[in-house]
Copies of this chain bind each other. A is one copy, B any other.
Amino acid sequence: MNTVMTNQTEQVLTIGEVAALTGVTVHTLRYYEKAGLLEVPRLSNGQRRYREMDVKAVEFIGHLRRTGMPIRAILEYADLVRSGKDTSAERMRLLEQHRDNVARELAEQHKHLVGITAKIEWYRAALDQADSSDARLTETLTATASTP
């Protein structure tokens, strides 16, 4: 009465297959597990077998990592998931906080990008000038350039 029918057809993947599927190296997958981000079931010989939920977890960790969340913070989240208690509210809060940080960071980066683009435009203007001018002017342009 306690052992509910488990899905026999669930496919499991080796670490190499997960690496190929997700783009995360085999080394890094093991590293994540040692860091406590994952808990992957093993065969009796010790080999990892990733269920679909493990692969999904790897992908979600990818979202967090690629947006700059430190391993430490992801670990906090993972610990909440595994705590057994209903920590949904807190987990959501963590994610929202991270999302806000990332949004801020993206806005920041966009501003920096504008600065870079301005410089590119400055070069373009300078080169256009040089094209329709003589060599002396080109010299002057590069010498007096306002902080190229």
Contact = CB atoms under 8 A, between A and B. Distances in A.
Interface residues of A, number: 46
One complex includes copies of this chain to the number of: 2
A119 B88 contact: no
Interface in A77-107: 81, 86-89, 91-92, 95-96, 98-99, 102-103, 106
B92 A116 contact: no
Contact of A113 (B67, B92, B109, B148): B67
A63 interface: yes
A115 B56 contact: no
A72 interface: no
Q: 3 smallest A-B Cβ distances: which pairs?
A: A56-B147, A92-B123, A63-B115
